[in-house]
Amino acid sequence: MDIRELQNIIQENGVVGAGGAGFPTYMKINDKADTILLNCAECEPLLKLHRQLLYYHAYEIMQTFHMIAETVGAKEAIIGIKKSYVQTVNALMAHIEEFPEMRLHLLDEVYPMGDEVVLIYEATGRVVRPGGLPIEQGVAVFNVETVYNVYRAVKSGKPVTDKYVSVVAEVSEPVTVRVPLGATLDEVVACAGEVTVKDPVYFVGGPMMGRIGAGSDPVTKTTNAILVLPKDHVIISKKNRTSSIDLKRAASICCQCNTCTDLCPRHNLGHPIDPARFMRAASNHDFQDLNPYINSSFCCSCGVCEMYACPQSLAPRTLLADMKAGLRTKGIRPPQGVVPVPVKESREYRKVPEERLMARLGLSRYDKDAPMDERLVAVPKVTILLSQHIGAPAKAIVKAGDMVTRGQMIAEPAEGLSVGIHASICGKVTEVTDRQVVIAAV
Ligand code: SF4
Ligand code: SF4
């Protein structure tokens, strides 16, 4: 298969990064990649999805990963996987000899190992420049479910219509299920038995970088996990704080210990992000040196500074995110051509062990198996968003009253960076807006 053909199949079938921001995968099929990297680091604590999907579908995923390597002409295909995922490592080792360009890179149980920039450094020793793309270093990174979706698209012409989601924490039966895109969070949580706490809050994604979601929110192509938490859990409390109070707290109690900078994973890779300097400048309204503000663009929002490092429970990540958003609104672009300084020698000793992180955030008791059930969950209605990826939203090509079948394209890729969207159930279209298509099962 040539590159253009594979890109077309992936775009038409709506494959995007199955997690994170949903970067359209066809853009990563690039002959500048001499190395491709499969991300099975399960970046955040409590996530259980990728290790299981890779265990159950090891051969299909390896075959597809090999096909991508051949198509782009990559010399090396690396599977980055935590060494603690023993069952999955064994499943991969059973086939690895068949793929001479492939190797496993075993990773430690530290956070944020699944961050692309960190993973690339760990697996290849290359540093992506601040604000740069992995492909500039000759690397393309894919997550496990994304490659499985490429497999389904190439092998059987099946578009992305459903999503694997883990439901964990305050539920009686943690589980990883396969649900149609557009099912509600309430419907997904109902698959995990009883909710074991009064007034639960749904936290969508991992505990470090996730968001609070409503029960009626639809599942999208990037929904990986739902954490069901008590409303007074520390993660929820931190999320509900307001930035103006955070800034006042920083002015009064930041002791300038520098721990947030010392532990910042991007800073330790030589990027010019310095949360301690930013906190000092922002809380004192000091604008003599603008670099701490402008360099907020290089924060990846991993949350190490505010969820783990800061002894005063301050919120550098949130304030940096506000600064980034403010700069964007004012049309101020991130500095270009910034060259990283050498990786800090102390980096090895400043990694954040996941076990410690979970203990500090009160999550250790939720670290249980969430077994995978691959039967598709049936729902009476789906609300499918037209923007589930970075780039332009897809353009609806159905109207209210149309009958659709599962897998049928209901929105085509828009001009520019975009992918198609497909019906996730058979039924009747009941609503079409600029934002979504609603389908009722028949
Ligand atoms: S969130 Fe904090 S620790 Fe993470 S990159 Fe940004 S400043 Fe560094
Ligand atoms: S870790 Fe907290 S107290 Fe220390 S410098 Fe950073 S924000 Fe200030």
Q: Is residue 169 part of a domain?
A: yes
Q: Which residue has the tokens 């009253």?
A: 401
Pairing mode, if any, of strands 225-230 and 200-204?
antiparallel
Same domain, 35 and 131: yes
Backbone dihedral angles phi then psi of residue 276, each to the nearest 5 degrees: -65, -45
> Residue range 85-102: average pLDDT?
98
Query: Is 305 a pocket residue for ligand 1 (Cβ < 6 Å)?
Result: yes
- Tell me, yes or no, whether 148 and 7 share the same domain: yes
Band (250; pLDDT cuts 50, 70, 90): very high
Hey, is 67 helix, strand or coil? helix
Give the tens place of pLDDT for each residue, 42-64: 889 999 999 999 999 999 999 99
Percentage of the chain with pLDDT > 70? 100
Residue 88 pairs in a beta bridge with: none
Residue 290 lies in a domain: yes
Distance 260 CA to ligand 1 centre (A): 8
Q: Which pLDDT score is estimated for 43? A: 82
C-alpha distances (whole Å) from 312 to each of 120, 249, 259, 307 are 32, 9, 11, 11
Q: Name the closest-CA residue to atom 3, ligand 2.
A: 254
Instruction: Give the residue whose CA is nearest to atom 8 of ligand 2.
Output: 254
Give the Å distance between the CA of 193 and the centre of ligand 2.
Answer: 41
Alpha carbons within 13 A on the beta-carbon side of 382: 32
Pairing between β-strand 427-432 and β-strand 352-353 as defined by DSSP bridges: unpaired
Question: What is the rounded distance in angstroms from the CA atom of residue 61 to the CA atom of residue 67?
Answer: 10
The answer, yes or no, to whether any atom of ligand 1 lies below 6 A from the CB of 118, is: no
Q: What is the pLDDT of residue 126?
A: 98
Report residue 3: phi and psi, to 5°. -60, -45
Whether residue 275 is found in the same domain as residue 398 = no
Q: Exposure string (b/e) for 371-410, b if CB count within 10 Å is 16 or more?
A: ebeeeebebebbbbbbbbbbbbbbebebeeebebebbebb
Same-domain pairing of 135 and 258? no
Residue from 262, 301, 306, 318 whose mutation best tests the ligand 1 pocket (most atoms within 8 A of CB): 301
- Alpha carbon distance 53, 152 (integer Å): 13
Pick from 32, 20, 37: nearest CA to 125: 37
Note the pLDDT of residue 424: 98
117 lines ligand 1 (CB under 6 A): no
Q: How confident is the model at residue 68 (pLDDT cuts 50, 70, 90)?
A: very high
Q: Which residue has the tokens 């964007």?
A: 328
For the CA of 253, the nearest atom of ligand 2: 3
Same domain, 82 and 116: yes
Ligand 2 and 253: CB distance under 6 A = no
Q: Which ligand is nearest the CA of 260, by number?
A: 2
Q: Residue 193 belongs to what domain range?
A: 161-227
Q: What is the pLDDT of residues 163-195, one digit of tens each?
A: 999 999 999 999 999 999 999 999 999 999 999
316 lines ligand 2 (CB under 6 A): yes
Quick check: is 172 in a domain? Answer: yes
Residue 187 located in a structural domain: yes
Single out the residue in 295, 327, 360 at which a domain terminates.
360
Task: For residue 191, give the CATH number of its domain.
Answer: 3.10.20
- Count of the separate structural domains present in the chain: 4
pLDDT, position 434: 95
Q: Considering the chain, what is the average pLDDT of its residues?
A: 96
Is the minimum distance from the CB of 259 to ligand 2 under 6 angstroms? Answer: yes
List the residue whose alpha carbon is closest to atom 4 of ligand 1.
302
What is the position in ligand 1's atom list of the atom closest to the CA of 300? 5
Task: Select from 227, 259, 274 the last residue of a domain.
Answer: 227
Measured in degrees and rounded to the nearest 5, phi and psi for residue 172 equal -75, -25
Query: Both 148 and 85 in a single domain?
Result: yes
Nearest alpha carbon to residue 174 among 366, 377, 374, 376: 366
**Of residues 15, 95, 35, 109, the one with CA closest to residue 59:** 95
Atom of ligand 2 nearest to the CA of 275: 6
From 266, 297, 347, give the residue whose CB has the most ligand 1 atoms within 8 Å, as the site to mutate. Answer: 266
The three-state (H, E, C) secondary structure of 304-358, written as one string: HHHHHHCCCCCCHHHHHHHHHHHHHHCCCCCCCCCCCCCCCHHHHHHCEEHHHHH
pLDDT class of 85 with cuts at 50, 70, 90 = very high
Given 141, 156, 171, the domain boundary residue is 156
Token readout for 139 is 């690397």
Q: Could you identify the residue written with the tokens 């991300």?
A: 39
Which of 258, 317, 323, 351, when mutated, tests ligand 1's pocket best, judged by the most ligand atoms within 8 Å of its CB? 317
pLDDT (tens digit per residue) in 295-311: 999 999 999 999 999 99
Give yes or no: residues 337 and 286 share one domain: yes
Residues 43, 143: one domain? yes
What pLDDT does residue 20 have?
84
H/E segment holding residue 429:
strand 427-432
**pLDDT in the model for residue 19:** 86
Q: Are residues 151 and 167 in the same domain?
A: no
CATH number at residue 85: 3.40.50.11540
Closest ligand 1 atom to residue 260 Cα is 3
| pLDDT bracket for residue 335 (50, 70, 90) | confident
Domain-embedded: residue 291: yes
The reported pLDDT for the residue numbered 249 is: 94
pLDDT per position as a tens digit, 16-42: 999 888 999 999 999 999 999 999 998
Residues 220 and 256 in one domain: no
pLDDT tens per residue, range 399-420: 999 999 999 999 999 999 999 9
Over 90: is that where the pLDDT of 108 sits? Answer: yes
What single letter denotes the amino acid at residue 399?
K
Please report whether residue 100 resides in a domain.
yes
User: Is the residue at 375 inside a domain?
Assistant: no
Query: What value does the mean pLDDT take over residues 311-339?
Result: 94
The reply to whether 260 and 330 lie within a common domain is yes
Judge if 43 and 184 occupy the same domain: no
Does the Cβ of 304 fall within 6 Å of ligand 1? Answer: yes
* 440 Cβ contact partners less than 8 Å away, ≥ 6 residues apart: 380, 381, 427, 428, 430
Q: Whose CA is nearest to atom 2 of ligand 2?
A: 310
316-329 helix and 275-283 helix, angle to the nearest 10 degrees = 70
Note the Cα 103 to chain centre separation in Å: 23
pLDDT at 1: 85
Residue 90 lies in a domain: yes
Which CATH number goes with the domain that contains 394? 2.40.50
